């Protein structure tokens, strides 16, 4: 056993204590020189990272944590279309440029999120798509944005959330403005345009709601497989399935067999599987903070162990890094979820939580 692996295993054996308590006492003992998620991920061959925004640049403690724990980042909203093209043909790349520059200065990769989505579209585009849709409104935008960052954004969520069986279509596709404008072919069009603009970028279809068991879980999974299989059969340049992984152990518990079977079908299509937006909704869980933290850690471990067992994952990103900045805490979500959610690996003071140890254990044990 080399020294690196020895250090890794002994630190994790010690970290195992965190699952019995709330993890905070143990976490506080970690010296600055001990292993970070970034170190552990590198040892196992993964990239690990989080979503963030330029407004965090002012928070020194948070930024130290990002630099310490992450080998890649994704923009939480600054590479969405309402930010990049607020008026027709008027682009604003400032926020995304600053994030990409930060990533590269710190030797991190940068994921682009997201080129085509039913949400976060500027009003002028929604009006145009409803009125006289122009193909260029989709393909020229992709060419411009992906082309600008060619070689600097290694992976793009090309289409986000195209499925929604609750809309009642037999193919399970979401009745989005894109579908209404161009029919089902908008998905292929988007991937072709992205590939043309950066032939080396990894192109991802990203979605939620396929991780757990719930009313539409099976339909969401089978519609996803049908859509991805069709794309592969037509020779569409798609390289990976992105699982958002907004885990909800209360309303959408994970059945490891169901999840593994679904992921195996994706693997059989020749696609890789990335974890793109991991967090845990704990608002209905546990009576104490300790119990909530334990459940979040166990849910994370259960999920990651299944995903990583397929050996087709390169990247694991959480949606934020510290509970202080979780989207579940923002003014829109917090009143809906109630309480103060703690869905992420670090607490408000950047102290490692049991979820941090859960990720560390999963990625240490299962190398890429
Ligand atoms: C969320 C951001 O976290 C919020 O800040 C923003 O207001 C709305 O979007 N799935 C996705 C992400 O693909 O883009 C969403 O991000 C969270 C759900």
pLDDT tens-digit readout, 279-338: 999 888 877 889 989 999 999 999 999 999 999 999 999 999 999 999 998 877 777 666
Name every residue whose Cβ is closer than 8 Å to that of residue 92 and which is 6 or more positions away in sequence.
83, 84, 85, 86
Q: For residue 32, what pLDDT band results from cuts at 50, 70 and 90?
A: very low
Q: How far apart are CA 117 and CA 133, in angstroms?
A: 16
Is 69 annotated in the active site?
A: no
Q: How far apart are CA 212 and CA 215, in angstroms?
A: 10
Which atom of ligand 1 has the smallest separation from the CA of 53? 5
Q: What residue owns the CA closest to ligand 1's atom 15?
A: 76
Of 76, 85, 277, 315, which is the active-site residue? Answer: 277
Is 140 annotated in the active site?
A: no
137 within 8 A of 129, measured Cβ to Cβ: yes
Of 26, 161, 211, 315, which is the active-site residue? Answer: 161
Q: In sequence order, what E strands does 63-196 have?
A: 72-75, 109-116, 155-160
Percent of the chain predicted with pLDDT > 70: 90
Beta bridge partners of 205: 159, 241
What is the pLDDT averaged over residues 120-140? 96
339 pLDDT above the threshold of 90: no
Whether the CB of 117 sits within 6 Å of ligand 1: no
CB-side neighbour CA atoms (13 Å) of 266:
30
Least confident of 270-279, 311-320, 359-368: 359-368
Whether the CB of 188 sits within 6 Å of ligand 1: no
pLDDT for the residue numbered 33:
47
pLDDT for the residue numbered 101:
98
Which atom of ligand 1 has the smallest separation from the CA of 246? 18
Percent of the chain predicted with pLDDT > 90: 83
Which atom of ligand 1 has the smallest separation from the CA of 208? 10
Whether the CB of 333 sits within 6 Å of ligand 1: no
Q: For residue 9, what pLDDT band results from cuts at 50, 70 and 90?
A: low
The predicted-structure confidence for 54-105, as pLDDT tens digits, reads as follows: 999 999 999 999 999 999 999 999 999 999 999 999 999 999 999 999 999 9
**Distance of CA 166 from the midpoint of ligand 1 (Å):** 20
Q: For residue 30, what pLDDT band results from cuts at 50, 70 and 90?
A: very low
pLDDT for the residue numbered 5:
55
Q: Read off the pTM.
A: 0.93
Q: What residue owns the CA closest to ligand 1's atom 6?
A: 77
pLDDT for the residue numbered 330:
83
Angle ∠(211,213,219) on CA atoms, nearest 5: 85
pLDDT for the residue numbered 20:
41
3-state helix, strand, coil in the chain (%, to 5): 50, 15, 35
Tell how far CA 341 is from the center of its chain: 18
Which phi and psi angles does 270 have, rounded to 5°?
Answer: 85, 20
- In testing the pocket of ligand 1, which one of 56, 75, 77 has its CB within 8 Å of the most ligand atoms? 77
Transcribe 230-287 into DSSP letters.
Answer: HHHHTT----EEEE--EEBTTTB---HHHHHHHHHHHHHTT-EEEEEEEEE--TT--S
Q: How far apart are CA 37 and CA 70, in angstroms?
A: 7
Which phi and psi angles does 218 have, rounded to 5°?
Answer: -65, -40
102 within 8 A of 120, measured Cβ to Cβ: no
End-to-end CA distance of the chain: 18
Computed over every residue of the chain, the mean pLDDT equals 92
- For residue 156, which of 315, 342, 325, 326 has the smallest C-alpha distance? 315
31 pLDDT above the threshold of 50: no
Q: How far apart are CA 12 and CA 365, in angstroms?
A: 10
The predicted-structure confidence for 175-192, as pLDDT tens digits, reads as follows: 999 999 999 999 999 999
Which atom of ligand 1 has the smallest separation from the CA of 51? 3
What is the pLDDT averaged over residues 196-219? 98
Angle between helices 217-233 and 256-268 in degrees, nearest 10? 10
260 pLDDT above the threshold of 70: yes
pLDDT for the residue numbered 16:
45
What is the pLDDT averaged over residues 167-175? 98
Hey, how many other C-beta atoms are within 10 angstroms of the C-beta on 335? 8
**Distance of CA 111 from the midpoint of ligand 1 (Å):** 14
172 pLDDT above the threshold of 70: yes
245 pLDDT above the threshold of 60: yes
pLDDT for the residue numbered 228:
99
């Amino acid at each position: 056993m080399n020294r690196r692996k020895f250090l890794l295993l002994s630190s994790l054996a010690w970290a195992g204590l965190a699952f019995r308590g709330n993890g905070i006492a143990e976490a506080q003992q970690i010296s600055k020189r001990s292993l970070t998620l970034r170190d552990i991920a590198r040892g196992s061959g993964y990239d690990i990272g989080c979503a963030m925004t330029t407004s965090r640049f002012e928070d020194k403690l948070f930024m130290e944590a990002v630099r310490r724990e992450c080998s890649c980042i994704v923009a939480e909203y600054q590479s969405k279309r309402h930010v990049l093209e607020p008026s027709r043909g008027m682009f604003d790349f400032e926020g995304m440029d600053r994030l990409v520059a930060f990533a590269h200065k710190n030797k991190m990769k940068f994921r682009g999120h997201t080129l085509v989505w039913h949400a976060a579209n500027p009003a002028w585009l929604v009006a145009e798509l409803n009125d006289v849709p122009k193909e260029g409104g989709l393909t020229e935008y992709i060419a411009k944005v992906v082309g600008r960052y060619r070689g600097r954004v290694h992976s793009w969520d090309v289409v986000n959330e195209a499925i929604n069986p609750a809309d009642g279509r037999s193919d399970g596709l979401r009745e989005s403005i894109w579908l209404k404008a161009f029919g089902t072919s908008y998905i292929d069009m988007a991937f072709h345009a992205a590939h043309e603009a950066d032939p080396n970028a990894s192109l991802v279809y990203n979605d939620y709601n396929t991780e757990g068991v719930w009313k539409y879980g099976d339909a969401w999974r089978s519609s996803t497989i049908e859509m991805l299989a069709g794309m592969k059969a037509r020779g569409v340049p798609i390289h990976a399935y992105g699982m958002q992984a907004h885990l909800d152990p209360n309303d959408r518990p994970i059945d490891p067999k169901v999840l593994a079977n679904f992921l195996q079908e994706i693997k059989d299509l020749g696609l890789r599987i990335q974890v793109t937006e991991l967090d845990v909704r704990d608002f209905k869980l546990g009576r104490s903070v300790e119990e909530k933290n334990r459940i979040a850690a166990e849910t994370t471990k259960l999920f990651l162990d299944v995903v990583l067992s397929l050996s087709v994952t390169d990247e694991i990103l959480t949606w934020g890094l510290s509970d202080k900045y979780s989207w579940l805490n923002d003014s829109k979500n917090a009143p809906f979820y109630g309480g103060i959610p703690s869905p992420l690996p670090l607490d408000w003071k950047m102290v490692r939580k049991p979820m941090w140890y859960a990720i560390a254990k999963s990625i240490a044990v299962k190398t890429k």
